Amino acid sequence: MNFDFSNDLKMLREQARKFLAGRCSRQVVRKVFEGGAGYDAELWAEIARMGWLGTAVPEPYGGSGVGYDGLCLLAEELGYVLAPVPFSSSIYLAAEAIMIAGSEAQKQKLLPPMIDGSRIGTVALAEGMGNPSPEHIKAKVASGHLTGTKMPVPDGEIAHFAVVAARDEADDIGVYVVELSGKGVARTRLKGIDPARNQAKIVFDGAPAERLEGARGYAIIDELIDRAAILTAFEQVGGAQACLDMAKAYAVDRYAFGRPIAAFQAIKHKLADVYVAIELARSNAYYGAWAITAGAAELPVAGAAARVAATDAFHLASKENIQTHGGIGFTWEAGCHFYYRSKLLAVSIGSAPYWKDRLIAALERRNAP
């Protein structure tokens, strides 16, 4: 594999970086954290107007058709600033589910309002404790009506609709679109460590459900979470890089015993370890970007490898950022804790051990005689 982003895409990344640096400061993130709104609606509207929500969506459905490689770069920049918007739940998950499993008519109906930002989607897979698997899907659809409980659902409190994994009357797994403001739906916000990534418990009691017509079997969900893993990995790489930049800037400016603490080996070695972890994660994320852009058969391997490396890098970087800041790193005012909330992102669409097991299984399948 020899993969790099085109010059046009690198220009897109630079423009996104400049916009977010001016529009999504740490004070903006703090306001969402302290205000409890769940997301920044104005920022969401602005990135929708710039066409970011439709980056990987073909033009016939209202997107720009730039491609997944462009979406990967935007995910990295959004992760760098911890943009408090439902980008991952609505774009990595809901829009991808519709692209994978929706009919032509369903794509024409559902995607344009998502891309213009007027409708927010999410995907409801989990039903409590446990990683994604066919065995954990107990929700049922009978005569076009859904019954069951999903939790945690990312951005479930603010989403307009959910793509829900459930079983039909023949016990086959499918995915269904359900309006969350309709009859038979009750939502409860769950308490979590990250107010900008709200989670919800959603109880469905005979809620009208429309099956995505291409969704037959669990393979659809497997493909969806492989794609989401790559996009999430880029977001994690962006967050890890922000932690390293914060730690380095503080280490250069902070003096102890008459010297900047960046001159001490104890600090330099810590930050060097973080740098190596980030570069390893970035290389695996690039592997994922190639796989998702090319539609390669290696998508399961690439998605799991990117997810494992990026989760490890973000956790290490967020932890060492706090340690480098010393006592002030543990205060609310310093803002290091914003990135330490990477722990919540680390368990979205499966825990770290789940993705390691998934990587091993994918490698075994690929290398089987």
> Is residue 108 domain-shared with residue 134, that is, in the same domain?
no
pLDDT above 90 for 260? no
Q: Report pLDDT for 294.
A: 92
Is 156 within the bounds of a domain? yes
Query: Is this model's pTM higher than 0.85 or not?
Result: yes
Mean pLDDT of 264-285: 95
pLDDT at 346 over 90: no
How confident is the model at residue 239, as a pLDDT? 96
What would the 3-class secondary structure string for the chain be? CCCCCCHHHHHHHHHHHHHHHHHCCHHHHHHHHHHCCCCCHHHHHHHHHCCHHHCCCCHHHCCCCCCHHHHHHHHHHHHHHCCCCCHHHHHHHHHHHHHHHCCHHHHHHHHHHHHCCCCCEEEECCECCCCCCHHHCCCEEECCEEEEEEEEEECCCCCCEEEEEEECCCCCEEEEEEECCCCCEEEEEECCCCCCCCEEEEEEEEEECEECCCCCCCHHHHHHHHHHHHHHHHHHHHHHHHHHHHHHHHHHHCEECCEEHHHCHHHHHHHHHHHHHHHHHHHHHHHHHHHHHHCCCCHHHHHHHHHHHHHHHHHHHHHHHHHHHHHHHHCCCCCHHHHHCHHHHHCCCCCHHHHHHHHHHHHHHHHCC
Provide the pLDDT for residue 45. 97
CA distances (Å), 294 to each of 85, 101, 226, in order?
A: 28, 19, 14
Cβ–Cβ under 8 Å, residues 56 and 68: yes
pLDDT band with cut points at 50, 70 and 90 for residue 1: low
Q: What percent of the chain is modeled with pLDDT above 90?
A: 77
Q: What is the pLDDT of residue 198?
A: 85
The token duo for 294 is: 């090319």
Q: Say whether pLDDT at 341 is over 80.
A: no
Same domain, 343 and 286: yes
Asked if residue 2 is part of any domain, the answer here is no
Q: Which of 160, 193, 211 is the last residue of a domain?
A: 211
Give residue 2's pLDDT band: very low, low, confident or very high (50, 70, 90): low
Chain segment 198-208, per-residue pLDDT in tens: 899 999 999 99
Q: Are both 354 and 284 inside the same structural domain?
A: yes
More reliable by pLDDT, 273 or 335: 273
Residue 183 burial (10 A CB sphere; 0-12, 13-18, 19+): exposed
The per-residue pLDDT for range 148-204, each reduced to its tens digit, is 999 999 999 999 999 999 999 999 999 999 999 999 999 999 987 787 788 999 999
Those residues with Cβ within 8 angstroms of residue 128's Cβ, 6 or more apart along the chain or in another chain: 149, 151
Angle at 296 between CA 68 and CA 96, to 5 degrees: 40
Q: Are residues 201 and 322 in the same domain?
A: no
- Do 254 and 224 fall into the same domain? yes
Confidence of residue 222 (pLDDT cuts 50, 70, 90): very high
Question: How many domains is the chain built from?
Answer: 3
At 111 the pLDDT is: 97
CA distances in angstroms from 190 to 87, 151, 153, 250, 290, listed in the order given: 19, 9, 9, 35, 36
Question: How far is it, in rounded angstroms, from Cα 202 to Cα 81?
Answer: 29
- Structural domain of 344: 219-367
Instruction: Give a yes or no: residue 1 inside a domain.
Output: no
Instruction: Give domain status of residue 194, yes or no.
Output: yes
Tell me, yes or no, whether 246 and 275 share the same domain: yes
Same domain, 313 and 248: yes
Mean pLDDT of 329-343: 86
178 close to 153: Cβ distance less than 8 angstroms:
no
Closest CA to 75 of 224, 192, 222, 228: 228
Q: Show the 3-state SS of 215-276.
A: CCCCHHHHHHHHHHHHHHHHHHHHHHHHHHHHHHHHHHHCEECCEEHHHCHHHHHHHHHHHH
* 18 and 141 co-located in one domain: no
| pLDDT value for 215 | 65
Q: How many whole angstroms separate alpha carbon 364 and alpha carbon 361?
A: 5
CATH of the domain at 227: 1.20.140.10
Tell me the backbone φ, ψ of residue 215, rounded to 5 degrees: -90, 105
